[in-house]
Structure 1
Amino acid sequence: MCRLVAYLGKPLPLKRFILEPPHSLLVQSYAPQEMTAGLLNGDGFGLGWYDRRLRPQPFTYKNILPIWNDPNLAGLCEYVTPSCLLGYVRSATPGLAVDYSNCQPFVQHSLSAVHNGRVENFRSTLYRPLRQQLTDEDYLNIQGLTDSEHLFAWILHHYKLTGDLAQALSKSFVSLLDLVPAVEVTFNFILSDGQRLIASRLAHGGAAPSLYYLSDHPDYPGVVIASEPLFKDERWVSCPPGAILVVTEEFQVQRWHPPEARAPTV
């Protein structure tokens, strides 16, 4: 499964997350330690970051090459210094193409998202019933074929109904189980509007992928969220299964277990 990293805090260069740490996102692409499916994350990667002085929408950089083969990455990581970052390295679900339309982060307006997980047999179980319930705008915004992008559209659908990203994340997960109650769903998402991070570690019918967060570290003046710790430090906290994290504009972590998200496994 893919590996994720996100940050909200005072500006830091991308290299502090992508290249420099002993277990950076680059290292997690070829030597992950806690993946439950697959061996490598060599099917492309993507970065999204915000500079709200210039625009509310995120900037993105994507490549279908393995992250270790991108000749532009080192220069980009020296130059870009974001206060809000989303990144991932991809382990493609068998049968889904390695192309740019399937590459994260996914973006709509000022919102961006990365996902680690899957819907079991997505094309035959959830693809059609989910698309039938989307608005025209969300339907037309889907460019690729991945379950991840469809789930992002599903979250946006609920965001329009609730007006709150954390509630939308929770309700979209529960409503998926109403559509396909006997299907395995793993639902580690990180969402951002450039001012907050919303992350989930949710699953139904299987184990949720690993997810950690780090705050109050002198070298990272904010909050880091990652599939695996970037370096050894006792301040990394494992996010409990069934939890949603909200990182506020003040870089505070709020952790909660929405009752409606505690769906029984099958």
Structure 2
Amino acid sequence: MCRHLAYLGPEEPLGRLLVDPPHGLYRQSWAPRRQRHGTVNADGFGVGWYAPGDPVPARYRRSGPIWADPSFADLARVVRSGAVLAAVRDATLPGADGAAAAAPFAGDRWLFSHNGAVAGWPAAAAPLVPALPPVEMLSLEARTDSAFVWALLLHRLRAGEDPGRALAGTVRELAEAAPASRLNLLLTDGTAVLATAWGDTLWYRTGPGGGTVVASEPYDDDPRWQEVPDRSLLRADRAEVRLSSLKDPAPAP
């Protein structure tokens, strides 16, 4: 459930990344090609982007389907960025959190998205609650598994943990508590993209102009797309992509 995408590269209109491709995130909201769980991603959407000179990202999120928001078409046509994270949502469970439950989540300079589900939510995650200070539990943006996953990860990041190690540690912690979980996580600070493949599809593409796209599935049939093996950690910048195994105890930074 859910589809998401991150981009780093030369400035592009949001629409060129999300709407114009023949199988872009816009179309994936009703016709994903490789989604293994769920069929329609109509429970909200969001896009976050970075403006030159400002390390804190902007976000636009809504609770309904992306195709039903005429304002997004205007925004996507004129807003340009060289660092973007966007997602369309298929809810794990019904809820009343609205746009607050739609990725990307944000904290400090980070944007985050979760493609998947914490199995047995919320009971299976209860043993992990003590890992968070009470104020962080009370500050959750939404009462969803994805918001809780983000709180666990952000706690590690704010403690100074390397982002790759923080992602890997969060995934292993959740997988141990809820073994059937699907934990494809996507994280960016506008200069790098980190992602995990754990139970669902993840692909990446690098372009000749220095751009890198990491996504749940390819948005076109360009042969440069490469699939990330399951149980992998991906680190990317505008120049290269590196993969390491999440089965290793500590993927190297």
**Could you tell me the TM-score, scaled by structure 1's length?**
0.88
**What's 1:132 paired with?**
130
Q: Does the alignment pair 1:213 with 2:204?
A: yes
**What's 2:71 paired with?**
72
Alpha-carbon contact 1:92-1:98 (below 8 Å) kept: no
Alpha-carbon contact 2:97-2:142 (below 8 Å) kept: no
- Give how far 1:98 is off: 5.6
Alpha-carbon contact 1:8-1:251 (below 8 Å) kept: no
**What's 2:21 paired with?**
21
Residues in 2 aligned to 1:5 and 1:177: alpha-carbon distance in whole angstroms: 23
Counterpart of 2:23, as a letter, is H
Counterpart of 1:154, as a letter, is L
Residues 260, 99 of structure 1: alpha-carbon distance in 2 compared, 3 angstrom cutoff:
same
- Give how far 1:226 is off: 1.1
Report how many residues are paired: 250
Residue aligned with 1:254, SS? strand
**What's 1:205 paired with?**
none
- Give how far 1:131 is off: 2.3
Counterpart of 2:188, as a letter, is S
Residues 34, 98 of structure 1: alpha-carbon distance in 2 compared, 3 angstrom cutoff:
farther
- Give how far 1:217 is off: 4.3
Counterpart of 2:148, as a letter, is H
Q: Does the alignment pair 1:156 with 2:154?
A: yes
- Give how far 1:23 is off: 0.3
Alpha-carbon contact 1:22-1:231 (below 8 Å) kept: yes
- Give how far 1:162 is off: 5.0
Residues in 2 aligned to 1:98 and 1:229: alpha-carbon distance in whole angstroms: 30
- Give how far 1:130 is off: 2.2
In structure 2, stretches of 5+ residues that fail to align are none
- Give how far 1:116 is off: 0.2
- Give how far 1:17 is off: 1.5
- After TM superposition, the structure 1 = structure 2 runs for residues 1-266 of structure 1, keeping only pairs within 5 Å, are 1-53=1-53, 55-97=54-96, 99-126=98-125, 128-161=126-159, 163-178=161-176, 180=177, 183-202=179-198, 208-217=199-208, 221-248=210-237, 250-258=238-246, 259-260=248-249
- Give how far 1:70 is off: 0.5
Residues in 1 aligned to 2:99 and 2:21: alpha-carbon distance in whole angstroms: 27
Residues in 2 aligned to 1:99 and 1:58: alpha-carbon distance in whole angstroms: 21
Counterpart of 1:164, as a letter, is D
Residues in 1 aligned to 2:79 and 2:170: alpha-carbon distance in whole angstroms: 33
Residue aligned with 2:93, SS? coil
Alpha-carbon contact 1:242-1:257 (below 8 Å) kept: yes
Alpha-carbon contact 1:44-1:98 (below 8 Å) kept: no
Residues in 2 aligned to 1:7 and 1:211: alpha-carbon distance in whole angstroms: 14
Alpha-carbon contact 2:118-2:174 (below 8 Å) kept: no
Residues in 2 aligned to 1:89 and 1:75: alpha-carbon distance in whole angstroms: 18
Counterpart of 2:220, as a letter, is F
- Give how far 1:106 is off: 0.6
Alpha-carbon contact 1:116-1:187 (below 8 Å) kept: yes
Please give the root-mean-square deviation of Cα atoms over the aligned residues, in Å: 1.8
- Give how far 1:10 is off: 1.1
**Could you tell me the TM-score, scaled by structure 2's length?**
0.93
Residues in 1 aligned to 2:155 and 2:69: alpha-carbon distance in whole angstroms: 35
Residues 75, 95 of structure 1: alpha-carbon distance in 2 compared, 3 angstrom cutoff:
closer
Alpha-carbon contact 1:174-1:261 (below 8 Å) kept: no
